[in-house]
Structure 1
Amino acid sequence: MAELFAAVDVIRAKRDGKRLTDSQIDWVIDAYTRGAVADEQMSALAMAIFLNGMEPTETARWTRAMVESGERLSLSVDRPTVDKHSTGGVGDKITLPLAPLVAACGAAVPQLSGRGLGHTGGTLDKLESIPGWRAQLSTAEISEQLRKVGAVVCAATEGLAPADRKLYALRDVTGTVEAIPLIASSIMSKKIAEGAGALVLDVKFGSGAFMKSADDARRLAEALVGIGVEHGLKVSALLTDMSVPLGRAVGNALEVAESVDVLRGGGPADVVELTVALAREMLSLAGISADPAAVLASGEAYDTWSRMIAAQGGDPEAELPRASHVHVVEAPADGVLATLDAYAVGVAGWRLGAGRARKEDPVQAGAGVLCLAKPGDEVRKGEPLLELHTDTPDAVPAALKDLEGGFSVADSAPVRESLVLDVIRG
């Protein structure tokens, strides 16, 4: 593309609160991807976007330019394709039971997932705790697995939205991560390039989520759905509560084991509730009339899970890694567990080795936190409340400090609202 603009002119336009033109957006994304716009210039533009925002059509064009910076997957399958994206949380293992469940109902689920950073877990880290399982697949392997199994969970291919990969890393070190237009375009550029026909978004709010308030989550959800509609995608978003960890397991192998329990017809009620709610929305967008709750109870989803794991080199029957050290946190008093803060539990799990501070850091497959009680459960003083799992016992004191004030015992617990606050449809 010819050098049509000077980067500083694009920066000044957004600094002064103007709408960037389509040509300016196309040029700056292309030039940044090629290295013709420097990191410091894109940093200034990202901050200007953070401070002044973008109009919906402007954000949609920014997203389109990021999609066009790389390749699009061509998924040649004979089933309707539908994907799910979560904005991340603590104990959020929903992709693991959800992808095989929706596939067992008749859809094709191409789930390109990521790794954890900070207190939120990553789907690929969880699945890599299964012996032999591999995350990197070629486009041909993705299509073949979708045809044979109906579901694939893997890493994004290198050629998918390279502009987003560069900008994502830059936002992380420039204080611009929270800019809703940049969050929305980052998520949607990868999902649009992925090529699924429909998308359901799980936009979380609460202490363990990226968006702390329901209002902020709603604004993000509306931006995401708006971009999807602009690009001809069938899309909807669920606003879901992330003030308490999802399920009882927080950590990689711990969450895989809990997901398998769900697929076998058991598991915690909140994990089952959200899995079924998201499955219903995905199947609705895909035009499939099936009852995911009945399919989950039948065991068909577990069979699909086993084939999905085996197709990527994993052994679905293998014993999962266990941490070498377990520290028990006891209930401080008799009563009812009134609160259990998702953020505190997530940070404790990160300290124990379940997460990473930098993308290149390793994770411990067996590390994490088991929540032996959830808000509303009766507890007795001295009985086990939490288990801290780790291969590095020296990390336990810091994890215990993170948990200070993260739970409380009282005479009663507040009544918790439904996990799903609202559904926003395009």
Structure 2
Amino acid sequence: MSTLKTDDQWLVPVLACSAAVIGVTYLIKSIFWPSYPANIPPFPEKPYPIIGHLPYLAKRQREKFQEWRKTTGDIYSLYFGSNLVIIINGYKLMKEAFVKNADLLSSRPPRPEVDDSHLGVTFANGPLWKEQRSISISILKSFGMGKASLANKINEEVSVYLDTLTALDGKPSDVSVLTSVSISNIICSIIVGKRFDYGDPFFISFLDCFKKMVRAAEATSPVMIWPWLRFIPGNFLNSKTRNICFQKVLTDFCDRFIELSEKQRNEDAPETFITSYLREMERLQKQGKETTLSKKSLRLLLLQLFLNGTDTTATTVMWFIAFMLQHPHIQKKMHDEISEIVGRDRMPDIQDRPKLPFSNAVIMETQRLGSIAAINMPRCTSGEVTIQGYTIPANTSVFPSMDSVLLDEDTWEEPHKFKPERFLDSNGHLTKPEAFIPFSFGEFSPLE
């Protein structure tokens, strides 16, 4: 008995030492003899053990991606933590990867850091993605996407936006919140059939939470690399911020308006995206047809419509304001064109768009130079893919570098200068270069 006790006393120290030796051995092996998948694209710099290339991206991410393209080429490998990712640069190679190899690069990687993120459209795959995307486009078209009816809703909101700016009486003001609320109201008018006052505390709180959720979802944020961080007590490295905001947005906004729409459906309430979706879901269920439409998918779809329609648009509008302040002569030329074609007695409408080539060119140049992100949302390889002679393993995230296309010196003359005339031909007619892809391309574009 005493011998057993003595043995037990040694057991814990022996196990602890063994674990330490194994850990140190693994660390030494990772540093001096790292193993990587065969024939993958080259690394621009040697990855650190465990954390990979993340320290290189701690500052000046956009510049770093551009620098790596110059030193390594149009395709290279990185490690985000222990996850291998591939960066694709240049229009030609992106077309080869995402169009010619679309059958193997048309999936989204899993998002384990957020529950049910595979539903909706943005992170869905296969039949679920196809049906959700199809019904979304169908409903949005019925609400006038690209037509005069939607333009009227936009003009109504623009009038309120301009009145609010006028009321500031020239005082310095941060218009980013005002811009976000205004654009969100346009999305709300379609989705839930109402708009909110700019000072509405519920709506301001929702947008603040929404913005935090978006910022926490950056590809290089810790919780995206190590999803298990969210299980650590507290909010270590903001690891719980995304999920907390995600659930709050779903509960306080999406669930609230789905429930409200269900109550109002039999009343004389206007048709909305939610009621149209619910009606189609019930129609398919009554017919006994197999469908991915569900209330669970709808709540994720609403969030993703907001994500794709609000944050990106608001950022683009803020870039537009900045560019107009920097280039008053361009602002005046655009103003003169609108005054000549539209006049001062009415708002612009959808029929005016083809008659405003310079104004369209200014918007396109804003989208190009004010590109929202250095790298776009990733695709995931559903099988082994060969690109430029390199082997990309199955289940690998592949990121398209938007800056490499929209700021490419071989494609655009003086790419870092704001020059709307690059989108006009010698006769002043609007042109659209093939490499102008502000929303990416392939199967997931434009409604991701």
TM-score by length of 1: 0.28
The structure richer in helix per residue is: 2
Q: Give the number of the structure whose alpha-carbon radius of gyration is greater.
A: 2
The structure richer in strand per residue is: 1
